Chain A
Amino acid sequence: MANAREVKQRIKSVKNISQVTRALQAVSASKVRKAIDQLEDTRPYSVKAWQVLQHIAKQPDRSTLHPMLVKHSSVKRIIAIVISGDRGLAGAYNSNLIRTVETWSKSITVPVKYITVGKRGRDLLLRRGKDIMAEFSNLPAEPSYNDISPVGRIAVDTFLGDEVDEVYLVYTQFVNRMNHQPVVKKLLPLETDVDERVKVFNEIESLTGGYIFEPDQTSILEEIIPRFTILQVFHAVIESLASEHSARMVAMKNATDNATALADALQLEYNKARQQAITNEMLDIVGGAEAISE
C-alpha cells in the first residue's frame, strides 16, 4: 500500500486538475450559449438562402444560368473545406470530424486538396499527409460574415477559374447540446439534393417553373449565387462553433466528475494508509512494552 504522504500528494494534484476542468466547463457553458444564440439568429437567413439556391438549381435551363451551376464533365480535382476547432480538450469533437474526412476521402478516387479552418484540423490532416492548399486559424470567438467570407471566396474563385471540379464542405452540424453530427455536403457545383434543414422547416415543395428575373438574369445571379454559397460556409462555421463549445462543455463536465470520483477514492486510500500507520505504531509500542515487562 502506498504511504500516506504520496497519496496525499496525488489527492492534491487531482483536485487541482478538477478545478481547471471546472473552470473550463464554466467558460464553455457561457460560450455555448452565445454560439447557440448566434446560430439561431443567423439560421433563418442561411436556410432561406440555401432554398433559393436549390430553386435556382432546379431551373429547367440551369446550366446556361451561371457557371457555378455547371457540372464538369469529368471530375479530376476536388477541394474539401474542413471546419474544425482551434483548440483541443473538446472530447471527440475534432477526431470525429477527421474520421469523417478519412472515410469520405476513401470513397474518392481522385486527389483531394484541403482548405482547413481551425488549427486542430490542419494539424491532424497534415499528420495524415493530406495536401493542404490553404488554412485559416485563430478566428474570432463570434465570427462575422466578413471574417469567414475569404474561405468561401477561395472555393468560389478556384471553381470559377476552372481549377477544380467539385467543392465539398465538411463540418459539424449542431443538433442539440448533446448531439452534433459531422457531415459532408457538396457545395459546388450547386445541385438539388434534399437538405435536412429544409424538411425541418416543413416547407411545401412548390413547383418551380422558369423564374422571372429582375433587373435581369445575369446581374442578379451574379450577385446571389456566389454570395449565398459563401454564406453556406459561414453558416457551417457557426454550426461547428456551437458544436465545438458544447462538445468541450460535455468533455469538461465528464473530466470534472471523474476527478471528483478519483479524489474520493484516493481519500479513502489515504485514510486507510493513515490508520494502518497508527496501528503499526501501536503494535510497536505494545510489543516494546511487553518485551520490557518480561
Chain B
Amino acid sequence: MPIRCEIVSQDRLVFEGEADIVIVPGSLGEMGIMPGHAPLLSTLELGVIRVKSGELEDVFTVTGGFIEVQPDIVTIMADAAENVEDIDVKRAEEAMERASQLLKKDLSVDPDTYLRIEAALKRSTLRLKIAAQYRKRGQRSRPPGMGTSE
C-alpha cells in the first residue's frame, strides 16, 4: 500500500501523489519514509526530496521547512521547493554568480546580510548540482510540467 505524499511551499502546492518511499533531508540526517511510519514531526534542511513510486522518481530541491508524517500521509511544508525538471539553470547560474560576486566584493556587510547572501549562494549551488546530476542521468520520470501546479 503506497503512502500519500504532499509537498506544499509557502506560495503553492508543489506535488501531490502516491509514493512507495519518500526520502527527505531531515535535521538529523536523511530519512526514508515508507507507508505505516510512526507519526513524526521534524525540521528539514537544505537538500533534496526524492519521491519514489515504482520505477518513477520525482526529485525536488528544498530550502528548509518541516515534515509531518502520519501512517498514511507525508506532508512536507517547505520554505521553498522546486521540481528538478523545472529548475531554470540559467537563472540559478546568474543567482550564484551574483551571490559569489557580492561575497567577494564586500566582506564588511552586516552579519544578517552576509547570512542571506550565503544562503542564496547555497541555494543556487544546490539547484545547479541537482539539476546537473539528475538530468544527466536522463531520468525523466514524467513529461515536463506534469505533477506540478501551473
Q: Please tell me if B6 contacts chain A, counting CB pairs below 8 Å.
A: yes
Q: How far is the CB of A47 from chain B (nearest CB, A)?
A: 8
Q: Please tell me if A20 contacts chain B, counting CB pairs below 8 Å.
A: no
B75 touches A48 (CB 8 A): yes
Q: Please tell me if A27 contacts chain B, counting CB pairs below 8 Å.
A: no
Known: A214-B28, A215-B28. Is A52-B68 also a contact (CB below 8 A)? yes
Interchain CB contact (< 8 A) of A211 among B28, B41, B77 = B41
Which chain A residues border B42 with CB–CB below 8 Å? 212-215, 220
Which chain A residues border B77 with CB–CB below 8 Å? 45, 48-49, 52
B66 touches A209 (CB 8 A): no
Q: Please tell me if A42 contacts chain B, counting CB pairs below 8 Å.
A: yes
A209 touches B75 (CB 8 A): no
Q: Which of B8-56 contact A (CB under 8 A)?
A: 8-13, 26-28, 38-43
What 1/0 mask marks residues of chain A from 188 to 206 whose CB sits below 8 Å from any chain B CB? 0000000000000001101
A41 touches B12 (CB 8 A): yes
Which chain B residues border A211 with CB–CB below 8 Å? 39-41
B73 touches A206 (CB 8 A): yes
Which chain B residues border A203 with CB–CB below 8 Å? 73
Q: Please tell me if A44 contacts chain B, counting CB pairs below 8 Å.
A: yes
A214 touches B72 (CB 8 A): no
Known: A45-B77, A214-B41. Is A206-B10 also a contact (CB below 8 A)? no
12 contacts between A and B (CB under 8 A): A44-B8, A44-B12, A51-B68, A51-B75, A52-B68, A210-B39, A211-B39, A212-B38, A214-B27, A214-B40, A215-B28, A215-B43
* Bound-state Cα–Cα, A72 to B134, Å: 53
| Residue total for B at the interface (Cβ-Cβ under 8 A) | 24
Known: A44-B8, A212-B40, A215-B43. Is A52-B66 also a contact (CB below 8 A)? yes
Interchain CB contact (< 8 A) of A206 among B13, B66, B70 = B70
Interchain CB contact (< 8 A) of A48 among B6, B28, B39, B40 = B6
Known: A49-B77, A212-B38, A214-B41. Is A206-B12 also a contact (CB below 8 A)? no
A45 touches B9 (CB 8 A): yes
A214 touches B9 (CB 8 A): no
Q: Please tell me if A104 contacts chain B, counting CB pairs below 8 Å.
A: no
Which chain A residues border B68 with CB–CB below 8 Å? 48, 51-52, 55
